[in-house]
Structure 1
Amino acid sequence: MWKEFKEFAMRGNIVDLAIGVIIGGAFNKIVSSLVNDMIMPLLGLLLGGLDFSSLSFQFGKANIKYGMFIQTIVDFLIVAFSIFLLVKGLNKLHQRKKQEKIEEQPVLSKQEELLSEIRDLLKQQQRERG
């Protein structure tokens, strides 16, 4: 059972996923700092010095912090847009590489085409005999 678990844990997909989670956590800190330290203060300044993080209201004994909710939504939108741009860039790079592979295929001369046909015919004859 330990051997099976070790094989499962060491598969490329699991390791890639672990790396993605770690990088995602670090990326989250960067985006949170971008939102909290740069975007929200600028947005608050544009809206007349409004600090979203302190927006709240009292409902009975509960303190409803809707400003933090707004800030979390902005954070999510920035993360989602960043990931969209990253995936779009990777797809474009993948398409470019795919196109380069198509263009790299060598063009055979007439003599090479004939030699390839002869080779294929000889292989076919060998299969039919054997």
Structure 2
Amino acid sequence: MIKEFKEFAMRGNVVDLAVGVVIGAAFGRIVSSLVDDILMPPIGIMLGGVDFKDLKLVLKQGVLGPDGKLTDVTLNYGNFIQTLIDFLIIAVAIFMVVKLMNTLKRKKAASPDIPPAPTKEEVLLTEIRDALRSKPL
């Protein structure tokens, strides 16, 4: 059973998938930082100094929380908007990478492989063959 698991885990697709997940997680953090730290502050300023994380709709005020403190029950739609922007940027970036890879695959498939030039030995053997064919027996 251990041998079968080792064969399964070391197959190319599984390793490629694991690398893709790790790189995707790191890429997600980069995009989140891009949205949080670079894109949203100027957008917030354009909207009158609004921080999207602070946008919320208070459903009920002064509810006793599990820690014994009074808290508000809120609908945090600003955080949802920010997460949605994160997703859209990640989706567009992944689309562009996939599109680039597909374009490169098509170019590779479209360009026919040029056969290599014959070696000196092949040329010489061809000349000998042709010379033998032209001589009558």
Please give the range of the TM-score, normalised by the shorter of the 2 chains. Answer: 0.7 to 0.9
Q: Give the corresponding residue for 1:22.
A: 22
Separation in structure 2 between the aligned mates of residue 40 and residue 55 of structure 1, nearest angstrom: 13
Q: Give the corresponding residue for 1:40.
A: 40
Deviating runs (4+, > 6 A) in structure 1?
none
Q: Give the corresponding residue for 2:12.
A: 12
Q: Say which structure is richer in helix.
A: 1
**Corresponding position: 1:94 with 2:113:** no
Q: Secondary structure at the match of 1:63?
A: strand
Q: Secondary structure at the match of 1:48?
A: coil
Question: How far has the Cα of 1:49 moved from its partner?
Answer: 1.7
Separation in structure 1 between the aligned mates of residue 46 and residue 108 of structure 2, nearest angstrom: 44
Question: How far has the Cα of 1:105 moved from its partner?
Answer: 3.3
**Corresponding position: 1:82 with 2:69:** no
Q: Give the corresponding residue for 2:49.
A: 49
One-letter amino acid of the structure 2 residue matched with residue 105 of structure 1: I
Q: Give the corresponding residue for 2:68.
A: none
Separation in structure 1 between the aligned mates of residue 9 and residue 98 of structure 2, nearest angstrom: 26
Question: How far has the Cα of 1:99 moved from its partner?
Answer: 2.1
Q: Give the corresponding residue for 2:66.
A: none
Q: Give the corresponding residue for 2:114.
A: 105
Separation in structure 2 between the aligned mates of residue 45 and residue 94 of structure 1, nearest angstrom: 43
State which structure, 1 or 2, has the greater radius of gyration over its C-alpha atoms.
2
Give the alignment's Cα RMSD to 1 decimal. Answer: 2.0
Question: How far has the Cα of 1:93 moved from its partner?
Answer: 1.2
Q: How far does the alpha carbon of each residue in 1:54-96 deviate from its partner, in whole angstroms, 9 at most, with x for none?
A: 1012112412111000000000000000001111111111112
How much identity, in percent, do the aligned residues show?
54
Q: Say which structure is richer in strand.
A: 2
Q: How far does the alpha carbon of each residue in 1:7-63 deviate from its partner, in whole angstroms, 9 at most, with x for none?
A: 111111100000000000110110000000011112112222221111012112412
TM-score for the superposition, normalised by structure 1: 0.76
One-letter amino acid of the structure 2 residue matched with residue 79 of structure 1: I
Separation in structure 2 between the aligned mates of residue 91 and residue 58 of structure 1, nearest angstrom: 47
Separation in structure 2 between the aligned mates of residue 13 and residue 105 of structure 1, nearest angstrom: 31
